[in-house]
Every structure is written in structure tokens, then in C-alpha cells.
Amino acid sequence: MSSLPKTMKAVVIEKTGGTDVLQYKTDVPVPEPKGDEVLIKNEYIGINYIDTYFRSGVYAPPSFPYILGREGSGTIAAVGPNAPSDLTVGARVAFMGQSAYAEYTAATSKYVVTIPNSISTKIGAAVPLQALTALTLIREAYAVQKGDWILVTAAAGGVGLWLCQLLKAVGARTIATASTPEKRELAKQNGAEVLLEYHADDRDVFVKKVLEITGGEGVHAVFDSVGKDTFDSSLAVVRRKGTMVSFGNASGPVTGFALARLSAKNVKLLRTTLFNYIATREEFQQYAKELWGFIEKDGLNVKIHDVYPLEDIKRATEDIEGRKTTGKLLLKP
């Protein structure tokens, strides 16, 4: 630690609220890795919609001041006394954790993985949360089989594009919804078979179209990250014994749901979070390595919308909240 700087640049909040609570600071203390932690000098930092939940107060930050951000990539600058032997100073790694919107992050080794030589550090930062979310959804939330019909909402978003690609790679048939023709075309380029608009003014039209596409049966599963605005129509197109997976709240959380509605078709309903699928280092490493394999062998494309300087965090946040983006947003310290 003696060769490292004492302070660093970081994005900090001291209370929850709008983008005005985001503070770019240049004098934040560099953390010291403890226990099994490693200190990572961040080269790229991933932006995720969940970051806006912590900033706005949808999810409560554990304490203030709080450094936002949940993932990134870079090189290990120092290691804690109990860090695993495979994580060494100088290694190129991707990580998930907290306090990523900074030059340096102390991350628990449980969620740190080395990046293969064939994959860039930039791609490494774009992968962890969104791609692993998509991979665990198709493996565990609903175990997708070849030929299954799957509905993906917000299909041109970060997780949505990963879902389109992974679903194609495993042989599923994907119905993708997105808000503009450009976004729907992007979903098609990433593997979606059928493209639909939301039909927000008449969701019955949307339901009818999905049922027509699937021969009146409905889809085997829905992966929905929009939440309140799409939940009812998504549930309506799930087939008998199908699965409805809610994993995001972009339009607001689903409230007041009556469980008895599921009995009409014996539908399974899940509200998932990634970390319950990767609660151990072994689970994380397993899925991370499978993901690297998809990128290397199946040529999965990692679409990066833009790379923003860390000090432009307000603009980046406004872009992701305004649904002006397709693919992954990154910050560079």
C-alpha cells in the first residue's frame, strides 16, 4: 500500500434523491484491502440501473457517505492477508461488489474473477452484472430448453441484449419487445426471432399478437425487467405451467398482486436477484467461466453504448434513466 496514492477520485452520495445528489470528489481516501479482499485499480466501471435505485432511495444505501457502483474491471494493486492465491498483484480482473464508482475499489475475492487473455479489460467491465444476470436467468430462474418460446421485455437494454444472444445460443425462440424500431432492430441483430412493440395504448393487442405467434399456447417463460407497466400483459401470455420471471422495476415495482391469479394456468412466479444464484465463490466462478466461454466460442457481442469520464456521472445517469441508451454504459476514472 505504501506505493499507492492516499486519495482518489470517486462519485459519492450523502443522501438519496435525484441526480443532484451525485458528488464527484477528488479527495476520497483509497481503501485498504482487508481479509480476503483485493484492491483493484479500476480501468473501466460498469453502470447499471440498480445504481439509480440506490441513489434515489428505492434501495437503501447501507450508510453515508456512500460510493455508488456495483462492478468494474482493472488490475489488482494490492491484496488482503487472506486473499486466494489465484488473485495476485498485477492480475487483470473483473469484479462485482460495492463502491465501484472510484479509481480504486476493495472487492471481496468471492466476486473477483481473472479475465482471459482473449477478452479485453473493457469487455470485462461490461460483463459481470448484466451478463451473469442473463445467464443465471436462463439456467436457474427458468431452465431454457431448445425450441422454447421466451418473451424478453426491454430487449435492447443491457440485460436484454445478453438474453437475446444467450437464448439464441441455446436454441430458444425469442420474442423481443422494445420501445422504438431502432431498439427492436438491435434486438434482432442480437438473436431475437420476433419483434414487437409494447402497444402501451392497448395491451390486449400485444397479448393477442404473442398468442398468435405461439399458436395460441403462450410463451414458456417471460423475463421481465420493466415491472409495473408490462407485468399484467406479460403474465397473460405465459402458457399453462409456464414461468413468469420479474427481475427489474424500470417502470416501477409491481404491487398488490393476488397470488390466486397464478392458479388460472398453474404459472410459476419468481422475483429474482443475481446474488442469490451466486452466493458462493464457486458458483460465481462457474458462471463467470461459462460466460467467458460463450463470448469466446459463440462470438457473443458485447455492445457498449458509450464510455463516460467519471466526472460525467450525472449525464450518464440521466441517459440510462431516460432510456436513451442501448447496450452497456461504462465509466472511465
pLDDT at position 322 is 85
115, pLDDT greater than 90: yes
The grid coordinates of residue 241 equal: 405451467
What CA–CA distance (Å, rounded) separates 291 from 294?
5
Mean predicted confidence (pLDDT) in 290-305: 90
User: Residue range 134-161: average pLDDT?
Assistant: 96
- Who wins on pLDDT, 201 or 232? 232
pLDDT score at 2: 60
Place 1 in a pLDDT band, splitting at 50, 70 and 90.
Answer: low
Continuous segment of H or E residues that includes residue 255: none
Band of residue 250 on the pLDDT scale cut at 50, 70, 90: confident
Q: 159 is written with which cell numbers? A: 440485460
Q: Is the pLDDT of residue 4 over 90?
A: yes
Q: Tell me, what DSSP letter sits at residue 214?
A: T
Nearest one of 276, 309, 312, 277 to 291, comparing CA atoms: 277
- pTM of the complete model: 0.89
Phi, psi of 307 (to 5 degrees): -115, 120
Give pLDDT tens digits for 68-80.
999 999 999 999 9
Helix boundaries (H) for the chain: 49-56, 121-126, 128-136, 158-169, 181-189, 203-213, 228-236, 281-297, 313-321
Which CA distances in Å does 219 have to 71, 225, 266, 332? 32, 16, 14, 40
How many residues in the chain?
333
Measured from the Cβ of residue 191, the count of other Cβ atoms closer than 10 Å reads 22
